[in-house]
Amino acid sequence: MEAPDFKKFASRFLNTTSSHVFLTGKAGTGKTTFLKSLAEHTHKNFIVVAPTGIAALNAGGVTIHSQFLLPPVTFLPDRFLPDDFTESGRVLNQNVLARKHPLNSARKQVLRSIDLLVIDEVSMLRADLLDAIDYRMKAARGNFRQSFGGAQVLFIGDLYQLPPVVRNEEQEVLGRYYKSPWFYEAKALQEDPPIYIELDKIFRQHDSSFIDILNNLRNNTVTKHDIETLNQYYKPADEISSLQEVITLTTHNYKADELNQKELRNLNSQAHFFDAFLEGDFPESMYPVQASLELKEGAQIMFIRNDTSEDKKYFNGKLATVHKIEDDDIWVTMAVTHEEYLLKRERWENKRYTVESNSHEMGEEVIGSFEQYPVKLAWAITVHKSQGLTFEKAIIDVGQAFAGGQVYVALSRLRSLEGLVLRTRITPSVISTDEQVAAFALANHQPERLAEVIQKKQQLYLQQLINQTFDFSLLIKDLNYVQKDKGPEEFAEETMKPVLTQLVETLEAEKINTERFRRQLIDLLLTNQHPLLLERITKGRTYYRAFLFQSMKLLLEHLQTMKKQTRVKTYVNQLTELDLAFSKKLEEVDKALLLTEGILQGHAEFEFDTITKQRSAERSTLLEEINKSFKGQEPATRKRKPRKERKSKKADAPSTYDITLELFKSGMTIDQVAKERGLVASTIEGHLAKAVETARLDIFSFMNEKEVTEITDAIRLLPEGFVSKQLYDALEGKYGYGKLRAVIAHVKFSKV
């Protein structure tokens, strides 16, 4: 009998049900590969979030805290704080979160637009943080009846690896609400638990005896024979010291740092420093490598990214040795093959999710970037930071393992036992698996039931699809909320307010017919009258598309009117959110027929490109018509308040650029300012470039004439409208982006 393909099961659950899914599996089973290809296999709008900056970069998403605007504190899943707690800042509940940290309109629009929320590296996700996400989703989507406001959630990770972090002072607080800090204990999942799907095909290892040992480590069933087998690979310190092209995996950060610095100091070659190029918003917590990279000839390094070029010269975890450094050229010798390779800088981007204002399509906006050589010193690395990496050979030092799963994670980085070198012998005392995790897996891992479960979940999904698609109560609720929030005296024209009233009355008038239609569809579904069901949905789609389109037209005309008024920014944002809600409902009506038909016929994937393009074209035409009708109308004159009624504006605190400029003007060098501020020199150069751009600093105060002339000559050879990256490439990386920006500004001023 052919083994089931659990990746296909995962895709089917995501595409044909609304059930939350926990996609797990041993190390090396392809969880990351599934995530990277998700966009190719799902019709649903989704975003990807992760608990940490590095995890978010690796997953191609954003951090949980940035997307949901959550401060790094303990979240209590209550509307009110317990009597023995105050609003001290170390704990938050629902009311405090909503009041002190409200979501802006842009974030709410993203959360309203998605059908699927993907959370990667879920082993690090605490239960209280997941409940905070649940609350944010419910509030943003105006749906408190369903977990996560009715959105589906895909959890990806391996609970047998490293656990969530709980500080000592948080233990007692979390213990009041949760049995353990693991994500599955969240209140949001108690009545709506995820479907447990475990990938079982291992791609990293092929040695059956090694795989058996790893499985026993994972399941806390290690035998005496397993430990004896592993300890055969123990080597004393003098033998280890002679090993070449091998990395040490250890338990603590200080151990890895000490070993890397010790080996670097032992090299007699000259130290070279290479600064990252930073632009925009890229917080230090997201730095994939050091912003100031210290290298010497002879240093052992590791690539921390896959080579995306056709050459495929390196992969995440590939070792190499620095062979030669000349100016900014770094030549390395690849481990095993000993092939020489010239390092190239890589670019990482910090982004945020957006909803395009006209088309309402999900998109991404790059808000910052980090460019650096994709390597780090690699005589040693912590077990925690080795997750996701693959090594041919490694020295394992886990004699002081302090967290459950550390030994398993360390050993599972290797392809085979032949590559194992133990610095310390493994004892039963350092092998542990969280018993609660093991019990959770035992209770939920039921692969033999997946085929049966998916049929039931699909039937429930079709009922939910019908009930949700042909129900306008949430639209009415949203409209009433905005109406209640605004008084007629706030508008310049009395005709503005009745627009929302008219929309509510239109939807209310359709309520009885819609309820009757919905009941009819559910009855046809439950009695298996599928041909008639599809016929009725087809007719319903035609009717309700026209109905919604007319309402959208009225709303968009009102929105265009309000954009020409003053002091109504909040109201315009509310109207924009209403516009998005109507567009989402139109999308649901569009998809209902194809989804229902496809699921009933056993399809797992769906194609909506045609109807999406049609809907987009119709909306564009409508917007053009509205814009034409408003063309030539003058915006309303802004009415200024009398001077005595205006709020006095406090002097702004000095910006980071101001601080740098003040220190530099005091006589400090760029390097001295960088050291004083705890920043890298390239960042300080960027600050000074900003001062040149704003005419607050003369360029020759930190650049000499030769540098300015060379960069200026390169600018003249570039086409009009060039970007700084083109200038950087033209000068072969000789100058940092800060100096390039300064000269660009200088040239611009010279032309004026």
Highest mean pLDDT (candidates 87-101, 394-408, 518-532, 719-733) = 518-532
Angle among Cα 329, 332, 335 to the nearest 5 degrees reads 170
User: Which single residue is written with the structure tokens 């040695």?
Assistant: 207
pLDDT of res. 512: 93
DSSP assignment string, 160-183: TSPPPP--HHHHHHHHTT-SSSBG
Strands 91-92 and 74-75 come out as parallel
**pLDDT at position 348:** 93
**pTM (predicted TM-score):** 0.80
Answer with the residue of higher pLDDT: 565 or 648: 565
Residue type, 63: T
Q: Which residue's entry shows tokens 């009941």?
A: 519
Q: Are strands 380-382 and 247-250 parallel, antiparallel or unpaired?
A: parallel
* Predicted confidence band of residue 650 (pLDDT cuts 50, 70, 90): very low
- In angstroms, the CA 382 to CA 256 distance is 6
Name the pLDDT band for 216 (thresholds 50, 70, 90). confident
Span 316-325, average pLDDT: 93
pLDDT of residue 642: 44
User: Does 726 or 664 have the greater pLDDT score?
Assistant: 664
Q: Name all contacts of 175-178 with Cβ < 8 Å and 24+ positions apart.
A: 176/82, 177/76, 177/77, 177/127, 177/128, 178/127, 178/128
pLDDT digits (tens, 9 = 90+) for 157-177: 988 877 788 888 888 889 999
Q: How many CB atoms lie within 10 A of CB 112?
A: 21
81-90, 237-246, 322-331, 376-385, range with the lowest pLDDT? 81-90
Mean predicted lDDT score pLDDT of the chain: 87
Average pLDDT on 141-155 reads 95
pLDDT of the residue at 242? 87
| H or E element that contains 221 | none
pLDDT at 387: 76
Residue with tokens 């700084």: 724
In sign, the C-alpha dihedral spanning 593, 596, 599, 602 is negative
pLDDT at 632: 59
Helix then strand then coil, % of the chain, to nearest 5: 50, 15, 35
Q: What pLDDT sits at residue 602? A: 92
d(CA 18, CA 232): 50
**pLDDT at 93 exceeding the cut of 70:** yes
497 has a pLDDT exceeding 60: no
> Which of the four pLDDT bands, split at 50, 70 and 90, describes residue 272?
very high
- Integer Cα distance of 107 and 104 in angstroms: 6
Give the β-pairing of 394-397 and 420-422: parallel
Q: What tens digit of pLDDT does each residue of 369-392 get?
A: 999 999 999 999 988 888 778 888
Report how far residue 673's alpha carbon sits from residue 364's, in angstroms, rounded to the nearest whole number.
35
Which of the listed ranges 94-103, 113-122, 305-314, 654-663 does the model predict with the highest average pLDDT?
Answer: 113-122
For residues 56 and 350, is the Cβ–Cβ distance under 8 A?
A: no
Instruction: Find how far residue 32's CA is from the centre of its chain.
Output: 14
The DSSP symbol for 336 reads T
Q: Look at the block and give the residue holding tokens 């209280």.
A: 128
Q: How far apart are CA 163 and CA 436, in angstroms?
A: 12
Is the confidence at residue 487, as pLDDT, over 70?
Answer: no
> Comparing C-alpha atoms, which of 117, 365, 378, 432 is closest to residue 250?
378
Range in 207-216, 238-247, 359-368, 495-504 the model is least confident about: 495-504
579-601 pLDDT, tens digit per residue, is: 999 999 999 999 999 999 999 99
Per-residue pLDDT at 372: 94
- CA 572 vs CA 334, 354, 478, 583: distances in Å: 58, 17, 14, 16
List Cα–Cα distances, 430 to 217, 407, 423, in angstroms.
Answer: 11, 7, 14
Q: What is the mean pLDDT of residues 202-207?
A: 70
Cα–Cα distance measured from residue 701 to residue 704, given in angstroms and rounded to the nearest whole number: 8
For residue 290, which amino acid is it? Q
Grade residue 402 by pLDDT with cuts at 50, 70 and 90. Answer: low
Cβ distance 148 to 117 under 8 Å? yes
CA distance 323 to 342: 10
pLDDT above 70 covers a percentage of the chain that reads 91
Tell me: pLDDT of 646 over 50: no
Length of the chain in terms of residues written:
752
Measured between its terminal Cα atoms, the distance across the chain in Å is 78
Report the distance separating Cα 306 and Cα 372, nearest Å: 14
> Residues 7, 34: contact at Cβ < 8 Å?
yes
**543-568: average pLDDT:** 90
**pLDDT of res. 687:** 85
Q: Is 562 exposed, middle or buried (0-12, 13-18, 19+ CB in 10 A)?
A: buried
What is the rounded distance in angstroms from the CA atom of residue 303 to the CA atom of residue 323? 15
Confidence band of 326 (pLDDT split at 50, 70, 90):
very high
Tell me phi and psi for residue 600, to 5 degrees: -65, -30
Residue 689, helix vs strand vs coil: helix
DSSP state, 648? Answer: P
SS3 (DSSP) at 155: strand
Half-sphere exposure of 358 (CA within 13 A, CB side): 11
Of 350, 366, 309, the C-alpha closest to 57 is: 350
Q: How far is 376 from 565, CA to CA, in rounded Å?
A: 55
